[in-house]
Structure 1
Amino acid sequence: MVAVTIWNEFRHEREDDEVAAVYPDGIHATLAAALEDDHEVRTATLDDPEHGLTEEVLDGTDVLLWWGHKAHDEVDDLVVDRVQERVLDGMGLLVLHSGHYSKPFKRLMGTTCSLQWREDGATERLWVVDPGHPIADGLDEYVELPETEMYGEPFDVPEPDRLVFTSWFEGGEVFRSGCCYRRGSGRIFYFRPGHETYPIYENEAVRRVLRNAVDWAAPTEGAPRTFGHRD
């Protein structure tokens, strides 16, 4: 069974009544509920000791989910180092919504990861542009989210190895919403939907994407990697 750690800042839910009404137990609890039937799930938050991401926790994690928004700068660089090292060694990483600005994602991408945005509660269509990819398994040709935050291009990230989803918004904007990368031995998936004031993680199609993405990003056996001097 894939061992999943869900990391969440857990600040909005404790400080904003509107967010607490949507995610009363925290975004991490809702994400855990989406995954726990088929995966071994634990959660961690920003204010836990070492942000809940000790060496022991990360060593026991196959896939790490990351949701952050207002406190990216509070994440200790030593923890970022650990996450980066584990990804390079094979741990999967799912970066969700505003986690595009997180320290681990920016470190692994090597770019600003900046974008355009507008919080207007308009409709999004999340189009499946790579229907043969495992992350899109079981989906229709698009997922419609009636209320969401707009993210728009340009999105300052490296060209994805595979692009699974492209979003269209009522304002006419488009966005690369499902980006796959490989860094070292680890797989990374950036998934755009998930603003804190909308119950997007209750959407069954979105939950299907998360389950598929965790299974895709989980470490796989391969030939050993050998570096350094060779006799």
Structure 2
Amino acid sequence: MTDNTLRVLVWGENRHEQIEQHVRDIYPEGMHTTIAAGIAENLGDTARVSTTTLDEPEHGLSAEVLADTDVLVWWGHAAHDEVSDEVVDRVHRHVLSGLGLVVLHSGHWSKIFGKLMGTSCTLRWRSEQDRELVWTVNPTHPIARGVPHPIVIDQQEMYGEFFDIPAPDELIFLSTFSGGEVFRSGCTFRRGHGKIFFFSPGDQDYPVYHHRDVRRVIANGVQWVRTDLPARKIPTLLRYETGDFFTGHGYTGPIDA
């Protein structure tokens, strides 16, 4: 590894794996571990990939940990409400300051994604096993690099429109299902200095995170959301000529300037 190593932290709820045998059979070491392995196999020595879970102190997302992270990958489903608001606010500040964020599947209902989007982030879904075709609609985007058109996922939960999110900055993938449903399955957003990638394939009941092409997309997304800022800080409004923080007080110029 070099000084430019991409520091990736995969956050997993790690609840289904503990209480549902069929999920444990698919992901015996936890979904977060499988997701992390896919990132590591695609990025190799250019990345340092680690994991943490909901039940760790501060959910594994202390100020020190986040300061030592370039990209946070988030998977949650059954315990969104158990994530403390204090930790959500901390992650939110870091994203605005330049932390990259990749949100996977049912992470669309996580507190952090909702706070960043400012909408309900609700959608339609059908839990029966379905085939998902992930079509690349922006083939020049770096996240689509090396990805087949379409990605065929034989076992997956259906996600469908309407998906209540702001209009994405970029739409990269659009998924279709056997019932005729469509879904904006790969979207990017920018908030403050931070970049966000949402990618929907990955229900806990199916081996989606073992899928070679899904793993490639996630790794590409991790690379793309990284921001190379000299120092992470929330954007502020500064006086152009002095760099001082501008409060609006003491201005004596013309009111119509």
Shorter chain as normaliser: what TM range? over 0.9
1:95 is matched with which residue? 103
Letter aligned with residue 43 of structure 1: T
- SS in structure 1 of the partner of residue 223 of structure 2: helix
TM-superposed deviation, 1:227: 2.1
Q: Partner residue of 1:116?
A: 124
2-structure distance, mates of 1:226, 1:196: 40
Pairwise CA distance, 1:228: 4.1
Could you tell me which of 135, 140, 160 is aligned with 2:168?
Answer: 160
Moved more, 191-200 or 30-39: 30-39
Distance 1:100 1:226, change over 3 A: closer
Which stretch of structure 1 is more off in the superposition, 34-43 or 129-138?
34-43
CA deviations on 1:13-64 (whole Å, 9 max, x unpaired) are 0000010010011001101111223410111101000000000000011000
Structure 1 unpaired stretches of 5+: none
Task: Please show how residues 202-213 of structure 1 align to structure 2 within 5 Å.
Answer: 202-213=210-221
Q: Secondary structure at the match of 2:172?
A: strand
Counterpart check, 1:85 vs 2:93: yes
Structure 2 SS opposite 1:78: helix
Work out the CA distance in 2 between the residues paired with 1:82 and 1:189.
19
- So what's the TM-score if we normalise by structure 1? 0.97
Alignment of 1:1-231 (within 5 A): 1-36=5-40, 37-38=44-45, 39-221=47-229, 226-229=236-239, 231=242
Deviates more, 1:77-86 or 1:27-36: 27-36
State the AA in 2 paired with 1:128: T
Confirm or deny: 8 A CA contact 2:98 2:229 kept in the other structure: no
User: Aligned residues: percent identity?
Assistant: 53
CA–CA distance in 2 between the matches of 1:222 and 1:131?
30
What residue identity is the alignment partner of 1:227? L
Partner-residue secondary structure (3-state), 2:69: coil
CA deviations 1:99-151 (Å, max 9, x no partner) are 00000000000000000000111111000000000000011221000010000
Residue identity in the other structure for 2:92:
Q
Question: Which residue identity lines up with residue 82 of structure 1 in the other structure?
Answer: R
For 1:61 and 1:53, how far apart are their aligned partners in 2?
Answer: 10
Other structure's SS at 1:65 match: strand
Consecutive unaligned residues in structure 2, runs of 5 or more: 243-257
The alignment covers a number of residue pairs equal to 231
- Where in structure 1 do 4 or more consecutive aligned residues deviate above 3 Å? 221-226, 228-231
Distance 1:125 1:46 in 2: 31
Cα deviation, residue 201, structure 1: 0.6
The whole-number CA distance in structure 2 between the counterparts of 1:28 and 1:71 is 15
Whether the 8 Å contact between 2:39 and 2:216 is mirrored in structure 1 is no
